[in-house]
Amino acid sequence: MSDDELTTRVQDSGLQLAWQLFPEDVRAAVALARRQGAVLAAPFAANEEPWPPMQPGERL
């Protein structure tokens, strides 16, 4: 992610002060969030297709 993109994300989240004081913490948080997302996006089981969009009536 470029610095411009990161700055936009930070502004969207209202975290300008954290970005100013602790930029490395913010970078690490963004990276971890992306890694977690990648794990979740994998199929539930080895023989399955990736997740379809949520279906009508699907309950959480």
Interacting residues toward other proteins by CB under 8 A? 9, 13-15, 17-18, 21-22, 25-26, 28-30, 32-34, 36-37, 39-41, 44-45, 51, 54, 58-60
Give CA–CA dist 15/24, Å, rounded.
Answer: 13
The residue among 39 and 56 lying less far from other proteins, judged by its C-beta, is: 39
Give CA–CA dist 37/22, Å, rounded.
Answer: 23
- 6: exposed, middle or buried (C-beta count within 10 Å: 0-12, 13-18, 19+)? middle
Least distance in Å: CB of 52 to other proteins? 10
Least distance in Å: CB of 4 to other proteins? 16
